[in-house]
Structure 1
Amino acid sequence: MDKPRGRSLRFLPDPDRTGHARMPSSIRQGRRVILSLQYLRALAAVGVVLFHQFQSVSPVFRVGKYGVGLFFIISGIIMVSLTEGRTIRPLNFYVDRVTRVAPMYWIATAATFVLASVGICTPSIYSHGIGHLLLSCLFVPSPNEHGVMMPTLFIGWTLNYEMFFYLVFGALLLMPGRYRLPVLALIFLSLAVCGVVVPQGGDLLRFYTSPYLLEFLAGCCLGAIFGLNLAKLRPWPTAGLVAALVGAMIGAGFVFPLLFSGAATVFLVAMLMWIERQDLMPTLPFALMLGNASYSIYLFQQVAFDAAQAALRLLHYGPGLHTVPTRCAAVILAIATGVAVYRSVESPLTKRIRRVIDGTQRASDPSGKGTAPARV
């Protein structure tokens, strides 16, 4: 087996790290930062922001919508990489994921709900209902009062998929490691096929049988191929398995068209991870910063857009966010807002929550038997 290479093993700031190194919780023990994935997170977040502002300006920016699939693939890579070869309790996994994802999502959802209540947000998009707000915060897909199947914070539909992936993946931690990926593949492929066989099902059935689930699966396959140090297998087996995965996705694309773009995304991710494996990935502080802040950028982009629109109304600027200069300003504002929220809220809040969780886990399992060391 190839030895890990230097840059793949750097400890760098990361949105899933707390900076509290004394006793990390089990899912985060031995966490390594993969620079290529951080840069891809930045690309995904900025791409989605550009898509939301410029999709009607030029077809070029419509490629940004594939940032969602990129997030899903990265999520699959990280979950497999962090749990492979380790004994992790499902409860610890769920606590880690919920505390990582939910607090900032709830804050962004609350901000959106308040903006909608005072009429700043577009009423045809946002929900004012308390019941729908609660379902949104619980990551339960449901139609709002306008009949639109989206949570209070509309981009939160992707988080509903994330949490479903975590729910299934966490349950599979009860199995021996060698069975997890095959069983996950069986579950997600069965659900996707069900969506094809029963196309007239209700909204909830359509949601949970979406081929988006297969992008998580593809990410899990990449995680199993590369491993946490990017050097799990020798170069040619790695390249062959990646080629087989991309080919399988292209073939499946004739049934699930979403997988054509998914195959291209998997190839991009694998290529950058391969470059980093060869120790050729430079450290780019600005891209790393955007990668760290990608979750907040994604969550708070619409809040920034609505604030920009409200400011333009106060200035009696009739065109609003329908000119290229104002759209550019809105994009810059969205990215700056996300970085500011990450630094002032997300990072310190996550550290504080995880210090509490780590202390609780030390008290409940002082022997540390709930986890095995990460294999890197």
Structure 2
Amino acid sequence: MAARIARIVPMYWVLTSLMLVIVWIAPSLKTTEFTVMQAVTSYFFVPYEVKQSGSYYPVLYVGWTLTYEMFFYAVFAVSLCFAEQRSGVVLTAFFVVLSVLSLTRPSAYIFRFLTDPLLLEFVLGCVFGWAYRSGFRVSRWTAAVIIVAGGLGFCVGTPTSDMAHRVVFAGIPAALLVVGGIVMEAAGGWTGSDLLQQVGDASYSLYLLQAFTIPAFARVLTRADRLRLLPGDLICLSLVVASVLVSVLVYRAVERPIDIKLRALRRAHRQAQGARNAELEKHATTLTQRDRGM
């Protein structure tokens, strides 16, 4: 839990704070009114219902998935209290039961949040994770088929704005793409590249910064292309490339230094704790030997 918090929280808090500063300085950029309670719950990954939309978006709106992730991390941490073979069953059963409860169409937003079928997407990841650890591997051709199936899955249907049937139309295809990519790499289908590695390292910054980069670059392109001469596909590609470049720079300048510093602090804490435990154990051994008259 400490590792997850150290990895997720710092950049999210930094950019949540930046979002609050921006809308305070330039109120015209706001698309909704932020309340004090919404700001507080945003920092602590607590779902907060936005009355206008009936959804639970934090100040940094892309962080709604992090709220689910933190919930998943907490449940997963509890599952570690069970034997390894049982933890998988317990974890899967827990999320399946919650998802089934969504059929009752709960009205309270906290229960809508906790019973969203989106939780099944975590189960898909867990199932593949356990299978991969158990030695699940396939040939390159089979991996290619899985990837193609995932790509085609996105063409079958489109999730609605309220994310109804999201697991079917987005979750399963996404899971197939991830599974296919990982087993393809395991089969030696590709070795990756330094460029892709850098983009992958910056993926968390990219995920958070899209709330800033896409609107900002869209405004720039809109003003530059007043006659609407640029094709939409080129604009989308430009937004993606610009967002990736900014994210890589922010990762190197902000996220990575923070991560390195926190890792060093955690490592030093573990070493100090280990030294204290060793000293206590030595002291206890000395007392025991003295009591025994040794």
TM-score (norm 1): 0.60
Among 88, 93, 105, the residue aligned to 1:181: 88
Q: 2:191 aligns to what SS in structure 1?
A: coil
Residue 345 of structure 1: aligned partner: 254
As a proportion of its length, which structure holds more helix?
Answer: 2
CA contact (8 A) 2:138 2:187 kept: no
Kindly indicate whether residue 30 of structure 2 is the aligned counterpart of residue 137 of structure 1: no
Deviation of 1:355 (Å):
0.5
Kindly report which structure 2 residues correspond to 1:1-376, keeping only aligned pairs within 5 A, or say none: 94-119=1-26, 122-125=29-32, 127-144=33-50, 146=52, 148-196=55-103, 198-227=104-133, 232-233=135-136, 257-261=165-169, 262-308=171-217, 324=232, 327-366=236-275
* CA RMSD, Structure 1 to Structure 2 (Å): 3.1
Q: Distance in 1 between matches of 2:20 and 2:179?
A: 39
What is the aligned-residue identity percentage? 27
Hey, what's the Cα distance between the residues in 2 that align with 1:291 and 1:108?
19
Conserved? CA contact 2:137–2:183, under 8 Å: no
TM-score by length of 2: 0.76
- How far is the alpha carbon of 1:296 from its aligned partner? 0.3
Quick one: which amino acid aligns to residue 112 of structure 1?
M
Report the CA distance shift for 1:146/1:257 in structure 2 as closer, same or farther (over 3 A). Answer: closer
Q: Report the AA paired with residue 138 of structure 1.
A: F
Give the aligned length: 254
Q: In the aligned structure 2, how far is the partner of 1:111 from the partner of 1:317?
A: 28
Q: Provide closer, same or farther for how the CA distance between residues 117 and 109 of structure 1 changes in structure 2, counting only shifts above 3 A.
A: same
Q: Runs of 5+ in structure 2 lacking a partner?
A: 154-163, 279-294
Q: CA deviation at 1:200?
A: 3.5
Contact 1:191 1:208 in 2 (8 A): yes
- Work out which of the two has the higher radius of gyration on C-alpha atoms and give 1 or 2: 2
